[in-house]
Amino acid sequence: MGCFRWLGVFLVTCVPAAALAGDIQVTCEPGLRVYLDGTLVGASGAKDDGLFLANVENGAHVVRVEKEGFVPQSFQVEVRDLPIEVRVEKFLSQAVPRGGAAGARKVKPPAGSLLVTSAPQNCVVEIDGKTEEKSVPVLRLDGLEAGEHAISFSKGGYARLSGVVKILPGAEVRIRGDLLTGTLATVDVGEGSLRVLSVPEYCTVRFLGKTREKTGLNLNVSHVPVGEQRIVVLWRGRELTSSVAILKGQRAIVTVSFMKDQKPFAVAYEPE
């Protein structure tokens, strides 16, 4: 009897401790594409309340969820034996919503405007060969395409004043033709803003001469001058660089991805 008692104790103490699985529950609506570290692992369904990833290797991983026509969502997770949950929030649209409702949308860079002042006030202004009689303090010219335009000022008794003015997309540019001193001066007017989304979520962004650490879902920069602006995004020694057009009164939504087989940069716009 004593031998059997010791045998029972021996069998119990020799049962190995079971490791808890490193599972990931991706909670989301059905029909979404789910990637793990850049590899498609399946589509979400109602049966699993999304998608259940079983026995995921311990360590750092990136879960990316895609919905057609919307900005993808990515999540950095750390698997340590115990199950974890990734809860997908509402997606941001990348296209114009049905019915023309306001929202994030791809737009053609709009035309710019030119505000013309002069000394003296009354003179003849010629832009791209088209003549305008200026008899008001400020002559406004709208609908100018982005790019360079030839402009000249003339008036009897003064030397003709000529030059080139550059119109940026959506910008309102002021130009002063001073026939008294023979000088031209321009000032760019207009601001927009920038929102950066990225995969992975955590990265470093260089923009407008400043370095910013992106530690959340998005990074927002306000009061950005209208025009082409350079953006650099860094992650684990890798660098992605591009130019983004900042439009007056618009928020440029830049989605950056370091994942394979995905577009590095995508840009959409929405009203501020």
Q: How many residues does this entry show for the chain? A: 272
Cβ-count burial 56-71 (b if 16+ within 10 Å, e if not): beeeebbbbbbbeebb
3-state class of 151 per DSSP? strand
pLDDT tens digits, 171-207:
778 899 999 999 999 876 678 899 999 999 999 999 9
CATH fold for domain 112-189: Immunoglobulin-like (2.60.40)
CB 53 within 8 A of CB 86: no
- Check pLDDT > 70 for residue 212: yes
This prediction's pTM: 0.45
Query: Per-domain residue ranges for the chain?
Result: 2-87, 112-189, 191-271
What is the three-class DSSP state of 96? coil
Q: Express each pLDDT in 93-138 by its tens digit.
A: 654 434 443 444 444 556 788 999 999 999 999 999 999 999 999 9
Question: Token digits for 179?
Answer: 């026939």
For residue 236, count CB atoms less than 10 angstroms from its CB and return exposed for 0-12, middle for 13-18, buried for 19 or more: exposed
> Alpha-carbon distance 221 to 212, whole Å?
10
Tell me the fold of 2-87: Immunoglobulin-like (2.60.40)
Distance CA 173, CA 163 (A): 14
Residues whose CB is less than 8 angstroms from the CB of residue 136 and which lie 6 or more positions away in sequence, other chains included: 121
Between β-strands 84-87 and 24-27, what pairing exists: parallel, antiparallel or unpaired?
parallel
Confidence of residue 140 (pLDDT cuts 50, 70, 90): very high
Instruction: Name which CATH class applies to 191-271.
Output: mainly beta
* Whole-number Å distance between alpha carbons of 184 and 117: 10
Q: Same topology for domains 2-87 and 191-271, yes or no?
A: yes
Residues 85 and 88: their CA atoms lie apart, in Å, by 10
Contacts 24+ apart (CB under 8 A), 210-216: none
How do residues 43-58 score in pLDDT, each as one tens digit?
A: 899 988 999 998 898 8
What's the pLDDT at 95? 47
Helix (H) or strand (E) holding 2: helix 2-13
CA 75 to each of CA 38, 49, 84, 227: distance values in angstroms, whole numbers, following the listed order: 12, 18, 12, 32
More confidently predicted of 19 and 118: 118
SS3 107: coil
Instruction: State the pLDDT at residue 101.
Output: 39
